[in-house]
Structure 1
């Protein structure tokens, strides 16, 4: 392997021209022949037994080039990156320049870790909400407790919206009962919109013991067979029930909580609301500060770096779906989307994560932040406790170096937030210079495009 040229390109990329010598490429072609010959039929020879020259004579001497390139270029690329001391952070774009008996020459566009120019990262200001709690807020917090304690009580009057009617019903299409249109002792809450339009409305005013025919037209987007059809539902109202809320007093507080009085219960609910809003305000404040950190830095992020992070996000998403018993393919079918749409919808998140990692790494470098072995061990212990697993299982699942990187970034984040102040966010005079990922330019996998025609008639195809 020999690197014949190194050229810096835009957006933190470097283009290497790499040459694989004739003998090394010939060895790769021989391996490709040994791997592929079993799949090639040649008249007069048993499958897998035809000599290489016979196969090349029939299909062209380039018949094994694609497989040979696939075998040889990853190692050559890795060796070239190491030789040039490049910090490769993304998938390379591979372009074949020349291939033949004299060897292989290809170009590799390498995504390298970008240089980060930090702006202001200490003393940033951001707004922060005060966690105020009103009586109305407490009433809303109390509502689920009241709803759970509310009982349905039979009443002798005409049904109203909000009541529940117990009904028997059967649907008829031109006098013929249709499948799925029958029910008995069905509890239907009027106004809930659970049945087709017009059904519940026509039962307002009905009394227990009354029978009614309801004229209903199914929506055009209803399931086939009934969509758009005018039908009749014969309904018998068997009972009318109204919701009866409990008396919200000290006895109610005792029933639904550990408190003896309603005042004490309401005070507890107010404290919970305040705590929740305070935590949300802290989170919003921190997010604003870290967004400013990103906005203040100058950095050209290569598309390949975003693509790598995007793959990690998609792998994590697929694992979370799988933990719920859903495959990514099934999820896409349920949502009516394809894999490209799901992937591209996650690109902004991947970009932001890369920006955050670069910014916080730069802060950690500027502040000479280090992580001790004791801090790493404490984090391992914390994870073991959180997931209720052994310490050794944590060590096996998460490499120590990854833990160190995460802790270092966390310490950098804590430093930036600790130095921040509550106030009006300062506007940045210059336009934001952090490079955005553009559409789908980043390649998901190494790809090859032919530049020069080879000396053979059979050309390797792009993966």
Structure 2
């Protein structure tokens, strides 16, 4: 086998691999001899089929396997020898194509873009500022008030019902004068404005008082689940048993217990921790952007054009869908990339390669527990289909890589931050919000 370099410009590489016919024939013969003891054929005992007949019947398939194995082996040997790492899947083309016939040498042209050598990044000058926000008493009190509202009770009141009140009703629904299954209930507590009944129902009960009787006239939606009712006009005969006003729960130990806390002090502590965790997440995003900006200015190296082009197309595609949310699928005109897309793509590719290099040199790895947690977090987006999602991830190498990539990047960023000159600065919630908004403006 002979490997000849045909292209070496920047990161572009080209090689011609020539596999002599004699080498292929020897490999085919070796494979047939290996399989011969197990092959049966009419008129011959197992393992006694003549080699000529084996080659005639199984030769083409074995030849194809031998060609593929030889080319794959040549590529593997080449990358091991040169140390090249292709940026994307190499392009492999066989000369002659369908005109090639058995007995000819096999000539394969392989081309690819090599990943660049990443220069060591001098991280000694990296300075990181971490914004710290403490949860204020007012924020904790607002959160407690919101919890109290969700745990509200209802107390009977005099007068007419208003939006947000609870009305206790008996009702009987009819279509074309006939009652229908599931259209009746007694002492049903309905919160007006909850949108728990079909559109138009609750609005007609605003302004009623205990003891009233009212016919509510509505139409079932065209897409209603019960086909016999979909799109039909209906009348609900309602008797108002009571009208109740919402009363927020008291902010005390009893409220805390409703939300699984031992007492009010414990609940306050949990709310404080949750708020500050949210602020810490936003602060980390600001810190990470500042760190990446510094890394982007530290090193410079050639980028594989194919990676930049693929990243620019992905950026353009994502931004287009954000601007056109009504288009769910990909049945749309081709999206052209702009200089802005290309510039952002170059930054992402450069930083991605740099972080990967730093992570590899520092032997940073994703643990099984970290990966499993990431899969679980993603699976929650598909309620009821978690098991199917887990199986999909296990069987899909590309999906596993998509989940591992951000985990790996974050671990590398954490390692750099831990070894950098880091200072903490306490700021207000408003200042943090402005810093986060600035990320979107850049």
Q: Do both share a fold (TM > 0.5)? A: yes
Distance 1:221 1:31 in 2: 67
* Structure possessing the higher relative contact order (Cα contacts under 8 Å, 6 or more residues apart): 1
| Contact 2:253 2:262 (8 Å CA) reproduced | no
- Are 2:25 and 1:21 aligned? no
Q: TM-score, normalised by structure 2?
A: 0.57
In structure 1, what is the equivalent of residue 244 of structure 2?
A: 241
Partner SS state of residue 418, structure 1: strand
| Contact 2:130 2:283 (8 Å CA) reproduced | yes
Higher mean C-alpha deviation, range 197-206 or range 403-412: 403-412
| Contact 2:152 2:247 (8 Å CA) reproduced | yes
Distance 2:425 2:7 in 1: 44
* Structure 2 unaligned regions, length at least 5: 36-40, 311-327, 331-341, 374-406, 436-441
| Contact 1:116 1:359 (8 Å CA) reproduced | yes
CA positional deviation for 1:78: 0.8
- Residue among 232, 236, 252 paired with 2:235: 232
Alpha-carbon distance change, 279 to 306 in structure 1, aligned in 2, over 3 angstroms: farther
Alpha-carbon distance change, 149 to 278 in structure 1, aligned in 2, over 3 angstroms: closer
- Residue among 200, 203, 206 paired with 1:204: 206
CA positional deviation for 1:22: 1.4
In structure 1, what is the equivalent of residue 292 of structure 2?
A: 291
* Pairwise CA RMSD: 5.5
CA positional deviation for 1:135: 5.5
Distance 1:406 1:253 in 2: 36
CA positional deviation for 1:190: 1.0
In structure 2, what is the equivalent of residue 344 of structure 1?
A: none
| Contact 1:90 1:305 (8 Å CA) reproduced | no
In structure 1, what is the equivalent of residue 194 of structure 2?
A: 192
CA positional deviation for 1:16: 2.5
Distance 1:5 1:213 in 2: 87
Distance 1:260 1:54 in 2: 85
- Residue among 408, 413, 419 paired with 1:415: 419
In structure 1, what is the equivalent of residue 353 of structure 2?
A: 358
In structure 2, what is the equivalent of residue 95 of structure 1?
A: 93
Partner SS state of residue 95, structure 2: strand
In structure 2, what is the equivalent of residue 391 of structure 1?
A: none
Distance 1:64 1:276 in 2: 61
- Residue among 166, 176, 179 paired with 1:174: 176
Alpha-carbon distance change, 245 to 356 in structure 1, aligned in 2, over 3 angstroms: same
Distance 1:222 1:303 in 2: 50
CA positional deviation for 1:199: 0.9
Q: TM-score, normalised by structure 1?
A: 0.55
CA positional deviation for 1:204: 1.4
1:261-299 Cα offsets, whole Å, 9 max, x none, are 8xx986x57854773365235413321123314543445
